[in-house]
Structure 1
Amino acid sequence: MAIDREKAIADLSKIQVKGNEEGLIPAFGVLVNQLPASFWNLFSTKILDAAGEDLYEDASGLLMNAASECGYHTGWGIINSDEFQAIIGPMIEKVPEDILHGAYAVFTAWGWANAEIVELIPGEKMVIHVHGYYEADVKDSYQPKTPFAFMIRGVSAAFMDIAYGDKPYPDGFGKFTCEQTKAIELGDDYGEFVVTKRN
């Protein structure tokens, strides 16, 4: 891996993200928000509570799919942004693998999750370990029965779609899925996410 993760995170963290005159925050080629993590966790818990036990799995799948759709389009904007190209671009030696490592540096720098790829089989499988992510904070106000990191699951699947989908962006969505195999919100020391091709 050619990406100097610590340098990438440090340099990415220096970028000032602020709203424009319309109140929108354009950064990294996309529009971002600065809503508190508790807002997004409450949003997810309200959906799951409203769905009830009978529809819990369906609602969970929809939350993950929403994150995946967002991650696919936002991820594409990020890796093609001037900021990403200026900081990560010079470190890239192997495409798309180094780009994926750079994308998780952005993930970490933005405070979404301290996430790092620990295994990557190009086009087949990716394993991410995450030490600290905002969705784990849900355990302070809600007791999830199953892993709760819908955003990381969805975005991780989307990143693999961007890198290895059977068609280039914007037509390669939905070829990968992600399973959360360890969860801080359920008592594990870290989160583990395994991305594989859909059957």
Structure 2
Amino acid sequence: MQGNIDREKVISEFSKRDVRGNDEGLIPEYNVLLNQLPTEFWNQFNERISTKVNPEFKKEAERLLYNSAREYGYHTGWGIITSDEFKSVVGPMIKDEPEDILHGAYALFTAWGWAKTEIVELDPGKKMIVRAYDYYESDVVKYGKSPKMSTYMIAGISAAFMDLAYGGEYPKGFNKYDCKQTKGIECGDDFAEFVVTSKQEQNNW
């Protein structure tokens, strides 16, 4: 399910672009400032916060990781989809808004190497199901199957992308959707799956 987007072309175009950090370690591209750190750093950071915290506060700790990814995805996502780079590659393919923009955003997400992701089901404004077949947060499986789903980045960003698509005018549309991870490679599944729904219909967390 890719809408009108030529997913392979988008991935190919953005994969060829050489994006480098400046002297301060920031990447001033796509209307935003990005940074580049080893995935091992983020995985260890996430695991320590979510496993070393007092069990009484475990849910709150995981929520903080998820919310960080959601805020990042919302503001960075807006910068990306309104950038000249995105418009030049994805723009000509867009026939149905905002659905095609969503498909284009996940193709770019894949091109950047964050996760091989795609939308497998989309009920506009109500529900979206995303699958990820390869992502850095699943690297923890090399230490053994995890007892918990821990793909906070993709979950948070997926909620943010739905906010951008259907939540209303930026930046007032934030926090209208929530995402629940239902499968994970880190838990032994073949892929990770994320279900995004309107917070008006249910609260997943």
- Name the CA distance, whole Å, in 2 between partners of 1:143 and 1:55: 23
> After alignment, is 43-52 or 6-15 more displaced?
43-52
Report the secondary structure of 1:54's partner residue: helix
For 1:85-164, what aligned pairs fall within 5 Å after superposition? 85-141=87-143, 144-164=146-166
Tell me, yes or no, if the aligned pair for 2:25 and 2:36 is still in contact at 8 Å: no
Q: State the AA in 2 paired with 1:176.
A: Y
Report the secondary structure of 1:66's partner residue: helix
Counterpart for residue 73 of structure 2? 71
Q: CA deviation at 1:50?
A: 3.3
- The share of aligned pairs that are identical, in percent, is 57
Report the secondary structure of 1:192's partner residue: strand
Report the secondary structure of 2:55's partner residue: coil
Q: State the AA in 1 paired with 2:119.
A: I
- Name the CA distance, whole Å, in 1 between partners of 2:137 and 2:13: 25
Tell me, yes or no, if the aligned pair for 2:146 and 2:186 is still in contact at 8 Å: yes
Q: 1:13 aligns with which of 15, 23, 28?
A: 15
1:50 aligned onto 2:52 = yes
- Name the CA distance, whole Å, in 2 between partners of 1:69 and 1:47: 18
1:35 aligned onto 2:37 = yes
- Name the CA distance, whole Å, in 1 between partners of 2:30 and 2:188: 34
Q: CA deviation at 1:31?
A: 1.4
Q: 1:82 aligns with which of 69, 81, 84?
A: 84
Q: CA deviation at 1:16?
A: 1.1
- Name the CA distance, whole Å, in 1 between partners of 2:110 and 2:90: 14
Q: CA deviation at 1:15?
A: 1.2
Tell me, yes or no, if the aligned pair for 1:45 and 1:142 is still in contact at 8 Å: no
Q: CA deviation at 1:139?
A: 2.3
Report the secondary structure of 2:171's partner residue: coil
Report the secondary structure of 1:55's partner residue: helix
1:183 aligned onto 2:184 = yes
Root mean square deviation, CA, Å: 1.3
Q: Deviations over 1:133-184 (max 9, x none)?
A: 110112224764221100000000000000000x310011101000111110
- Name the CA distance, whole Å, in 2 between partners of 1:178 and 1:144: 20
Q: State the AA in 2 paired with 1:197.
A: S
- Name the CA distance, whole Å, in 2 between partners of 1:50 and 1:187: 22
Q: CA deviation at 1:34?
A: 1.8
Aligned length: 198
- Name the CA distance, whole Å, in 2 between partners of 1:179 and 1:48: 16
- Name the CA distance, whole Å, in 2 between partners of 1:190 and 1:49: 22
- Name the CA distance, whole Å, in 1 between partners of 2:59 and 2:119: 27
